[in-house]
Amino acid sequence: MKAIKLIVGLGNPGQEYADTRHNAGFWFADRLAARAGASLRADKAYQALTAKGQLAGLPVWFCEPQTFMNRSGISVSGLANFYKLAPDEILVAHDELDFLPGTVKMKKGGSSGGHNGLKDIAARIGSQDFWRLRIGIGHPRSLALNQQVADFVLHRPSRTHQDEIDAAIDAALDVMDDFVRGDGDKAVAKLHAR
């Protein structure tokens, strides 16, 4: 596995979305960037908040697209093209409806599973072959909620679910040094064993 050079958190910009489930990718990227000593700042060139930091002694770029979820690929493809990054040098953190809150898994490639942010990134970089950090937020059906998916992802989780999501993000943060170094098997095994 190659070292990871770009870590992307997906979400929607604006204070009204900051605490909503769809922003789980932003929550992860914010905390990892802080750990890497990186301050995310508005970058008009990429329509994103970006920063450069260090993890495991290696330089890493952070990106939070500010284009709204469905157009996340604009920011990611811009950075990937400029820095000549291969898809497998990119990790995208995002909310995952198929996992209950508290679950977090990593995988490389695969379909977008209906996630519009992933769909747009794959279309714009011309590959599905990037890494995904899938942060479980639950699904209205699995949580016995009478809510449409579009409405569900744009609401804040309950306190209990927020605590479970935060714990999942903590677990992911703990394996990032291994992952960024290119020791993906070790990182994935550690993360999936929890």
- The residues annotated with a catalytic role in the active site are 22
**How far apart are the C-alpha atoms of 91 and 78, rounded to whole Å?**
15
Count Cα neighbours of 27 within 13 Å in the Cβ-side half-sphere: 25
Question: Which residues, including other chains, have CB under 8 Å from residue 129's CB and lie 6 or more apart?
Answer: 87, 88, 108, 109
Start-to-end CA span in the chain (Å): 22
Output the CA–CA distances (angstroms, integers) from residue 143 to 53, 121, 161, 181, in the order listed.
Answer: 37, 29, 10, 36
* Cα gap 184→178, rounded to integer Å: 7
